[in-house]
Structure 1
């Protein structure tokens, strides 16, 4: 396993040793020499980035999509662009621009708290307006700062692989043929996606989009904000950023909360299989709840719910359902995505029941709306979050190209999540990352973080996207305190639960760690 590399700014060398030059005897007389003058310390190639002054101003134009633009009109919010090297191996070369948004502290300011909502690919600036409302005690003590990681949102260069029309076509196309011809068709589809990303972005840009480089940007942001040490809150994939930062800069962490943890020790196969099992667990929890409600569309026997769902979803493979939009139909893939979207937040379960009831009567409108919510499609347009998800994931995960491993992955996912299956067998095709033009910059490994400040991990027992055990394991690897949360949703902190938020606020403000064995429960 290869450790993550530190930023060049942590490897500046002072060459101050004096070389003694011995004289050479010439006959009986000794020649004398003088030592050369001391060499000046090597200049830090990142100094101009770390010392830049952020030009804070209006947030107009910083919204990643029109549907969230209203939140950016709040005059209390300020935005700026952070300039960073596109390629840290070439700090004097091309640059990238990182979008940053902050809400200023309202009271006795400690410093900045940088936040990331996950994805990968979700705009980090979009998280701050909601935290202003849900975490007023933290806003009193910290500037709340969100950033769009390189390639994401309105940071530039912006990842752009597909047009809106191409996104619609990709979503509507279903590959359910496990035969060699079907596998070849899906692989051609995935290769086409990788080729489009390469032609539109350039391999040199794609090579810089991994978390390895994001954490270097984050350290430059910390410096530009004027904070000696980083206070950070990461959700979901944001925990990958936090963990990688802790590995690269353990002495620069003041406080860190990792909520909905990604386990960096897992390989691509195990991570995908475990996540699929997490969604099946969440689906089973939903169906158990649904069975107790009047007119549950999946019946009153939770043991049969997956089967009932399959009878509704599988016909969509050949005959997509009508929707309220005459130009669009609900595909099998979008039906699965719509259900998965409802698994992220328990409050969407009643909506999902209505959507499934509508599907049973031939109307796929509400399930398509849920899928659009996942894909961030609004008014016919997409932000770039799904394209960014793909590009960043390809740089952060080991490629699966061996046919036996490709088959093992397809079979493992199918066995772990029966509610997502077509009934025709797994299509063991290589995914787009197998055709990516540049190698990944991260490998599975166990974090090594000597000297890291005390940190906190939050993990939800029924989290579908980042299973509970991943949080347990990451907390053990980092020597972090663990807050166990009983419930069914993805991530839990700073979302209105007093038990969780009181403990987190005490830690972030005063450094008071949660008591060992702290457990909280989400409202049902």
Structure 2
């Protein structure tokens, strides 16, 4: 499968921490999308649609959603969009939308996207609701989350593996660098791409799930919500949606907050290597903190922590360990994935330390639960389509590698940047599923053209493992926006209880007042 680490958000980390503690809108306003007169006429019916709001129970795709969506303060609807914007009279899709109404004098809608790609915006909005309950944002804005096309409760949904196939995939090592091993892995990846096409609705669906099309859906959503201009908060991959929207519809932007940036000018290879380096930086920070605690499973010398981690995890390649009282097993890929999940947020470091200590004692339960969160597995063994959507969207958003030598060089650089996750068996230069995708990429790295865009706010965290700090600096420059720096080790920070950051976000979104240039916020 893919060797790339995905960009998830604070929502997954918060859910992980909890588990380990074991009516109609107004008519269209604003400016419609681009296109000739005929296309504009065909798109008009989408821009003019009225959303029918109702209970959210049917929109839940996970156990946590089913519990959260039962709250009557949330209402849900489906937004109809063209499946292919080049043929707006053809097949259509439905975008799942969740809303919590403003409690006071309403400015408009605050639309959020939590990242991924593949994370559910409806789930994120429900999770974020409690964190902004006492915030002025809750009073002035309808809080709106949407599942991008193919994701979560949107239809058609991306579907590549059933639950049993996902369990087998997680146990599949793909560590054999021999020609036969490479051929086998590529055959699996080719089959994966074929299954995605067959089970998701065909090549037409896979061709049109990228950010290029999501931003057009977002503009239709803006209109259907009755907002003349878009107010948007995007985390992680959600910053790509935000910056792409800013380029496509600068005249329709009221305010953009982009936290945990993807640099739109960066190549896929460079971003992958830098992200791996970011996770190694977070691992090193965890190891230094662990070394100061009694009984650290990685020892008292942070310089030896990577070697100690490898000594703990690499034996799993040949012999997985039991977990969940013997009902399941922890594989090597899941041990690394569980560790990566915990590195997104420093508050999860104690859980990671406990997990590694338990692994040393022959119990993989905590690391397996962390890996379950990353992979979107419910306690009942059902999988959401987070990872399937991540791969599918990446395959049409990212540059494609179709040469084994180039793939080998990428893996070599990634292993060098993040040695803690190097399996030590040699490079397996198998092409990933994107090399066999039935449709070409729809995006490429470039400097956004955003003439007429109002002032934006970009937030970047100095120790962000998934979206390194410099990407935020570069995105702010590309959008001619203001940069707010947060000094910390975690992935994204907005509306997570840091007063300096949250106050700046609220003032900007409500009043348009940006923080002073070069503002730096710190924990506590």
TM-score normalised by the chain length of structure 1:
0.92
Shift of 1:327: 4.2
Unaligned runs of 5+ in 2: 1-30
Correspondent of 1:10 among 13, 27, 34? 34
Q: Show the 5 A alignment for 1:369-408.
A: 369-378=369-378, 379-408=380-409
| Alpha carbons of structure 1 residues 151 and 310: separation in structure 2 relative to 1, 3 Å | same
In the alignment, the residues of structure 2 paired with residue 235 and residue 503 of structure 1 have an alpha-carbon distance, to the nearest angstrom, of 16
8 Å CA contact 2:255, 2:455 repeated in 1: yes
In the alignment, the residues of structure 2 paired with residue 258 and residue 43 of structure 1 have an alpha-carbon distance, to the nearest angstrom, of 29
Higher relative contact order (CA 8 A, sep 6+): 2
2:115 paired residue number = 118
1:80 paired residue number = 77
Residue deviations 1:258-281 (CA, integer Å, cap 9, x gap): 000011111121111111111100
1:97 paired residue number = 94
1:235 paired residue number = 235
In the alignment, the residues of structure 1 paired with residue 519 and residue 398 of structure 2 have an alpha-carbon distance, to the nearest angstrom, of 32
In the alignment, the residues of structure 2 paired with residue 382 and residue 42 of structure 1 have an alpha-carbon distance, to the nearest angstrom, of 38
8 Å CA contact 1:121, 1:388 repeated in 2: yes
In the alignment, the residues of structure 2 paired with residue 175 and residue 82 of structure 1 have an alpha-carbon distance, to the nearest angstrom, of 40
Q: Show the 5 A alignment for 1:360-371.
A: 360-371=360-371
Moved over 6 A (4+): none
- Secondary structure in structure 1 of the residue aligned to 2:93: strand
In the alignment, the residues of structure 2 paired with residue 117 and residue 95 of structure 1 have an alpha-carbon distance, to the nearest angstrom, of 24
- Secondary structure in structure 2 of the residue aligned to 1:508: helix
8 Å CA contact 1:9, 1:45 repeated in 2: no
1:417 and 2:418 correspond: yes
Shift of 1:11: 3.2
In the alignment, the residues of structure 2 paired with residue 492 and residue 350 of structure 1 have an alpha-carbon distance, to the nearest angstrom, of 19
In the alignment, the residues of structure 2 paired with residue 242 and residue 314 of structure 1 have an alpha-carbon distance, to the nearest angstrom, of 40
Shift of 1:132: 2.0
- Secondary structure in structure 1 of the residue aligned to 2:368: helix
8 Å CA contact 2:32, 2:219 repeated in 1: no
Q: Show the 5 A alignment for 1:59-78.
A: 59-78=56-75
Shift of 1:190: 1.2
1:266 paired residue number = 266
Larger CA deviation: 173-182 vs 46-55: 173-182
8 Å CA contact 2:407, 2:431 repeated in 1: yes
1:281 and 2:281 correspond: yes
2:204 paired residue number = 204
Larger CA deviation: 432-441 vs 67-76: 67-76
Shift of 1:287: 0.2
In the alignment, the residues of structure 2 paired with residue 425 and residue 496 of structure 1 have an alpha-carbon distance, to the nearest angstrom, of 43
Q: Show the 5 A alignment for 1:21-32.
A: none
1:459 paired residue number = 460
**How many residues are aligned here?**
490
8 Å CA contact 1:114, 1:231 repeated in 2: yes
1:357 paired residue number = 357
8 Å CA contact 1:64, 1:123 repeated in 2: no
In the alignment, the residues of structure 1 paired with residue 262 and residue 320 of structure 2 have an alpha-carbon distance, to the nearest angstrom, of 34
| Alpha carbons of structure 1 residues 179 and 512: separation in structure 2 relative to 1, 3 Å | same
- Give the root-mean-square deviation of aligned CA atoms: 1.3
In the alignment, the residues of structure 2 paired with residue 315 and residue 69 of structure 1 have an alpha-carbon distance, to the nearest angstrom, of 38
In the alignment, the residues of structure 1 paired with residue 240 and residue 256 of structure 2 have an alpha-carbon distance, to the nearest angstrom, of 12
Residue deviations 1:386-409 (CA, integer Å, cap 9, x gap): 111110110100110123211111
- Secondary structure in structure 2 of the residue aligned to 1:270: helix
8 Å CA contact 2:78, 2:95 repeated in 1: yes
Unaligned runs of 5+ in 1: 1-6, 14-40
In the alignment, the residues of structure 2 paired with residue 325 and residue 449 of structure 1 have an alpha-carbon distance, to the nearest angstrom, of 55
8 Å CA contact 1:334, 1:368 repeated in 2: yes
1:297 paired residue number = 297
In the alignment, the residues of structure 2 paired with residue 432 and residue 279 of structure 1 have an alpha-carbon distance, to the nearest angstrom, of 23
Larger Rg: 1
2:55 paired residue number = 58
